[in-house]
A and B are shown apart, each in its own frame.
Chain A
Amino acid sequence: MKNLVQFVIACCLLLVMAPLSAHHVLGRPAYSLNEDSNTPPSMQMETQIGDYFVTYMVYPAFPRAGEPGRINLYASRVDGGEPFSGEVTFRVRDDAWFGGGEPEVLGVQAPDDNVFRQGFVFSNDGDYIIRAEFQADGEPYQLDFPLRIGQPSPVGPITVAVVVLLLVLIGANLYQRKRLQRDRIRAAHKDECSNSAGEGGAS
């Protein structure tokens, strides 16, 4: 009976919530699935900049090099919720640690049903920064968000960890050997001195 009640409550909640999207926390990525289709999941994030709440969606959630993807951006005023209706410029730059390079313009988009849609195809895997720029009330707005193309390298953290561990362990080992050697030499010196003192005393 209790399970039935819980099931009925769950169904009621689902009826209310079905049209809504993923579980969002401000500034955190969330992954969602369109339950009515077999398409791959998308990644969404809600954040804000100045007087605007911004929601952007990357489709597919895990884009790959050579495959087309899309960014959808929606901006609305924090006070009142009025959607932004100007133009948004999308730029991209390589977020590599060394030699990131200059940003490139991906495109300038006008709103389509209040949503700014920007397509992309990346030729190489890697970490990129997408910058969405727009002007509102005479003020410039620039919103940066990371975009990962391809899977992040699993070897990176393992390599760093193994290299650091090897350096520490080998370093400690070498230092300890040196210290033991030094102690042995010191002990040998001490023995030699005490022996010679003993011999001197005996003579």
Chain B
Amino acid sequence: MIMTHPGLPAAWGLVVIGGMVILLLWAVITPLPGTAGAAVYSLARVPLLRGLVRQLLASPGILLGLKLLFVALFLLIIYAGLFGNPIPERNIATVLTWNIWWAGLIFSVFFLGTAWCAVCPWDTLAQWLVRRRLWKLAEPNNSLNLRVPRLLRTIWPALFMFIALTWLELGLGITTNPYATAAVSLLMVVMATSSLAIFERKAFCRYFCPVGRTVGFYSQLAPVELRPVDVQTCSDCKTLECYYGDNDTEPCPTWLVMGRLKQNSYCTSCGNCVRSCPHDNVAWRLRSPSVEAVQDARPRHDEAWFMIGLLALTGFHGLSMMPFWEGWMSDLARILKDSGQLLVSFTLGMFGSMAAVVLVYTLFVLLTRRLVGKTVPFWRQFATLAFVALPLAFAYHLAHNLNHLIREGAGLTAVLENPLGTGLAPLSMMEKHARHFDMLISQQTLFAIQAGLMVFGFWIAVQIVRHRGRVLLADSGQTGGWRLLPMLGFVVLMTGFHLWLLSQPMIMRM
């Protein structure tokens, strides 16, 4: 038998559809927006909060304490995975990694942007092993400091790593294997350390890390950003400590210059710029969650593919947890004469579903191009409109992960009491069902949040189409928002697909 979580009820689906219709009508009726400066509110101006945020970033103690905590948990995961009980629901390695961290990580982006990267244990361990310092600048930094080959200086490696991680997670099923979870954790540390020992700065974080880049791109939709307090001060700055570092602080790990920073995508929230700025000119600020994806972020070809890849992979995560996916795999396995873990069928299904999203997106870009005009090259239109994938992927990712977090997170207390699961048998059906009902919030609240997230994603996606579309129309010498209708159609189609996925029963992870 397969145990499943119930899907979003039809009533909530209708609420989402109602919201979509209203927003769509608004988008069609109202004229396209002009360029307007977005409102931001610097936390550096809030008297009490300023001190707290500043202390958090500038004081080595707090950040180091958090890093130590996460490294300790990470080492516990590796130890428990290798030496503990192989039953997934009894071992902290699988429960903490996949049910809590992997599902909850996306929520940290929603509130704190790229804060996870600041305490990431992969990078912390790599830093300690290579720099041989717990904190502060290491001189020499014990790295070969080679430049990353030009071919790899894109976000393609991170996309391939994310695809590989998805395959390991959903195809090979490492989510239910504590030993494999520990082995992959070790592999990530080896890769981060090797990259830090060979390449300059933190090339792993910037180009290779699938988690960091996913967090980074989703952070375009976060309500917080690390930016200059006064832009003019940065313009007048000749020393660029934020980029080069100073006597005590390492340079920006991902080659960012604060004065020119327009997007969160590559910021790791490490706080080096805050500590090194001699003018005390870098601070966190609050903003509209849509402003970066809507207008600030610069379209780039490789980044566009990453964003479309995110959309395809988040949809695929949901698809592969639907009971009917089993039927599809079974039919495909019959044709291919596949057996065992059905990995050939799974791999084909995964790449097929990813290709479908890319093809559908390309088709809608081509349709838009017919109406907007062919003055602007196709690849520029492809890259510019790709931002629309971000809120669609993010909203569905949050809504989907909420199911895991709320319905499967109940086992955490039990594994914290016995992290290795020593002497424990698998959960009985009675215990599984008891956990199933032991939700952190009520089911109706969960459905309401999921519905709200779908409308939120749709709303931002519509805004992106209107803002980015206006730029394309202006470049083509065209007017008339109706020319963007195909892209709005894409937003409706993908939101509809995600809504349908959410309304299906979902297979429990463990």
Contact = CB atoms under 8 A, between A and B. Distances in A.
B426 A33 contact: yes
Contacts of B263: none
Interface stretch (A24-32, A65-73, A83-91, A195-203): A24-32
B428 A48 contact: no
Contacts of A179: 144
A23 B432 CA distance: 9
A35 B429 contact: yes
Nearest to B339: A49
Nearest to A23: B3
A135 interface: no
A172 B437 contact: no
A56 to B, nearest CB: 11
A25 B507 contact: yes
Chain B interface size range: 35 or more
Given A47-B342, A154-B83, A168-B197, A161 B144 contact: no
Interface string B86-119: 1100000000000000000000000000000000
B340 interface: yes
A152 to B, nearest CB: 6
A29 B175 CA distance: 12
Contacts of A23: 1-3, 432, 508, 510
Interface residues of A, number: 55
Given A28-B176, A143-B339, A173 B434 contact: no
Contacts of B1: 17, 20-24
B329 interface: yes
B179 to A, nearest CB: 6
> What does DSSP make chain A's interface, helix, strand, loop or mixed?
mixed
A18 interface: yes
Interface stretch (B241-249, B330-338, B455-463): B330-338
Interface in B419-448: 425-430, 432-434, 436-437, 442
B383 interface: no
Contacts of B430: 14, 18, 35
A17 B197 contact: no
A29 B176 contact: yes
A172 B341 contact: no
B437 to A, nearest CB: 5
Interface stretch (B60-68, B187-195, B204-212, B491-499): B187-195
A107 interface: no
A6 B83 CA distance: 37
Given A14-B429, A172-B142, A164 B340 contact: no
Contacts of B442: 2
A74 to B, nearest CB: 15
A145 B340 contact: yes
Given A23-B1, A29-B176, A48-B339, A41 B87 contact: yes
A20 B429 contact: yes
B296 interface: no
Contact of B186 (A48, A152, A158, A172): A158
Interface of A: 2, 6-7, 9-10, 13-14, 17-18, 20-29, 31-33, 35, 40-41, 47-51, 53-54, 61-62, 78, 143-145, 151-152, 154, 157-158, 160-161, 164-165, 168-169, 172-173, 175-176, 179-180
Interface of B: 1-3, 82-83, 86-87, 129-130, 140, 142-144, 173, 176, 179, 182-183, 186-187, 189-190, 193-194, 197-198, 326, 329-330, 333-334, 337, 339-343, 346, 425-430, 432-434, 436-437, 442, 507-508, 510
25 contacts: A2-B442, A10-B433, A13-B433, A17-B433, A22-B426, A24-B1, A24-B2, A25-B173, A28-B176, A35-B430, A47-B341, A49-B337, A53-B330, A78-B334, A143-B339, A154-B179, A157-B182, A158-B82, A160-B186, A161-B190, A169-B193, A172-B142, A172-B143, A176-B144, A179-B144
